[in-house]
C-alpha cells in the first residue's frame, strides 16, 4: 500500500470519500490523498462498469474521474484536496433499471 515517506500529516485537511472521513495533507491532489488512504477504485467504466483507478496521474488517461461535491467527471489527479470536499465513486451513466 501507499505510505508517506515523511512521518505525520502536518497540515491536515479533511475530505469525505463515499461518506468516509479521511484526513489528508494539504496540497495533496484528490487522487494522491485517496491512494494514500488505500482507495483503488475511483470510477466504474462507461461500457462494462468495471472498476477503474488512477493510471497516469498527470491528467492524460482520465481513469481517475470521480464525482466531487456533486459534479461528475472531475480528474482527481489534477484537483487539490480541500477541506470538506465530498467525493464519490463515479458511476457509469446508465438507466436505473439496467443496474
Partner 1 sequence: MKSFDVAIIGAGPAGMASAIEATRNGLSVIVLDEQPAPGGQIYRAIETVSDQRAAILGTDYLAGRDLAAAFRNCGATYVSGATVWNIDNGLKINYSRAGLGSDQISATSLVIATGAIERPTPMPGWTLPGVTTAGALQILLKAHGAVNDDVVLVGSGPLLYLVATQMLTARYAPRAIVETTPAGRLIKAARHLPRALTAFSYLRKGLAMKRKLHKSGIPFYANARAVAIEGTTTAQAVIFQSGGKSHRIETTAVALHQGVIPNQQITRLLRCEHDWNANQHCFVPRLDAFFQTTVENIYVAGDGAGIGGAVSAALRGRLVALRIAEKQGKDTIARQNDVLKKLKADQAIRPFLETLYAPSPENLLPADDVMVCRCEEITAGQIRHAVDLGAPGPNQVKSYLRCGMGPCQGRMCGPTVTQIIADHRKKEVGEIDYYRIRPPLKPLALAELAAIESEPTRHTPL
Which residues lie near partner 1 (CB under 8 A)? 1-6, 25, 27-29, 32, 35-36, 40-42, 45-48, 50-63, 65, 73, 78-80
Cell of 27: 496540497
Smallest gap, in angstroms, from Cβ of residue 94 to partner 1?
14
Smallest gap, in angstroms, from Cβ of residue 57 to partner 1?
4
Q: Among residues 5 and 98, whose Cβ is nearest to partner 1?
A: 5
Buried b (16+ CB within 10 A) or exposed e, 2-35: eeeeeeeeeeebebebeeeebebbeebbbbbbbb
Amino acid at each position: 500500500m501507499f505510505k508517506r515517506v515523511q512521518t505525520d500529516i502536518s497540515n491536515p485537511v479533511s475530505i469525505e470519500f463515499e461518506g468516509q472521513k479521511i484526513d489528508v495533507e494539504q496540497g495533496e491532489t484528490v487522487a494522491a490523498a485517496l491512494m494514500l488512504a488505500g482507495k483503488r477504485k475511483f470510477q466504474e467504466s462507461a461500457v462494462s462498469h468495471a472498476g477503474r483507478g488512477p493510471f497516469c496521474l498527470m491528467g492524460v488517461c482520465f481513469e481517475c474521474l470521480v464525482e466531487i461535491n456533486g459534479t461528475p467527471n472531475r480528474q482527481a489527479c489534477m484537483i487539490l484536496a480541500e477541506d470538506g470536499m465530498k467525493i464519490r465513486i463515479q458511476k457509469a451513466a446508465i438507466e436505473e433499471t439496467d443496474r
